[in-house]
Amino acid sequence: MKIGLSTGGGDCPGLNSVIRAVVRYAVGTLGHEVIGIEDSFNGLMDRPYRIRNLTLRDVSGILNRGGTILGTTNAGNPFKIKGGANPSACDKSALVMEAYRDLGLDCIIVIGGDGTQNIAHQFTQIGMNIVGIPKTIDNDLMQADVTVGFETAMEVASDAILRLQSTAESHDRIMVLEVMGRHAGHIALHSGMAAGAHVILLPEIPFAYDAIISKIQERQKQGMNYSVIVVAEGAMETDSEPLYNATSPGKKNLGGIGQIVAEKLHQLTGIDARITVLGHIQRGGQPCPRDRVLGTLYGVKAVDLAVNKDYGKVVVMHKHEMKTVPYASVAASFRPVAQDDMYLQAAEAIGICLGR
């Protein structure tokens, strides 16, 4: 077989673990050919194609490396390239299909989050054979209990919270940490629980300052004059909208809510409050062991699907088993923290304030 392989969307720790597993299994064990496609589907839109044959030598030593040796992008939807007066001229999907057929690919294994998998789903509908692998630090892909990259991002955020605990206690401060996650609060919830945060604010639960102040005052009565608050970038106050930062003309990213929370709490309590925005530190660096193992499991399972010609499916870890789900159940949606989520319920049970 001739299998294409691409990584799309934001980078995250563990991508190279998946690439390595795919190549070692498909090429080294089964004797197939793997073609690496650079920068997601962009590598097939360009002429000449930006591709390369992946050998065992290419993946030697990449297990622990962050990022992706194939490059990635979250600004290259072939069905809707930005710019151009003629809408039809902005659809480059035909170029991708032309390259797919010209290269004689039997299928493409697409490693990506909800945006990338939505694009992949569109390609399955026009005749491309695809197997999907979920990756995103946000852990918000439908049907998947855990995605490649999440565990490392959560560990990085947890370490930051622990470091903020000691300085908060030393200075009797409120320390606010803003973490990524877009419209899902998995990173904030899990890292906050793992590192002993006192308040966790999630996009799924609009917060009230009265509830946060009540928690701070409760701790003061117990002789603890400091608090650590974890804020997901998509969190919002009750009856308000998520906060965006303008980054460049026509673009905006979630962020800034941590600063607002810190300033407001200082005004309301008189306590010195400081903000730390973790940002892309959550995305970079060496993947944790769990992400390296998970990436390997995902890569092997995806090759099995490719070899068996079981296309149009996404591999997911669900209830501690590797399973497959149809693309339609994954695309055009995301997985927020559910109100009956066991982690959420455990957080409240041990007295963590969720702002309500």
The catalytic site residues sit at: 138
Closest to 7 measured CA to CA, from 133, 153, 114, 118: 133
Is the separation of the CB atoms in 199 and 235 below 8 Å?
no
* List of residues 6+ apart from 173 with CB closer than 8 A: 167, 226, 271, 272, 273, 274
Is the separation of the CB atoms in 66 and 287 below 8 Å?
yes
Burial track 210-233 (b if 16+ CB lie within 10 A, e otherwise)? eebbebbeebeeeeeebbbbbbbb
Give the integer Cα–Cα distance in Å for 353 and 65: 36
Closest to 3 measured CA to CA, from 130, 101, 105, 99: 105
> Counting every residue, how long is the chain?
356
Closest to 207 measured CA to CA, from 176, 245, 163: 176
Task: Tell me the DSSP string of 7-64.
Answer: E-SS--TTHHHHHHHHHIIIIIIT--EEEEESTTTHHHHSSS--EEE--TTTTTT-TT
Give the integer Cα–Cα distance in Å for 152 and 285: 9
Return the SS3 of 236: coil
Beta bridge partners of 314: 132, 325
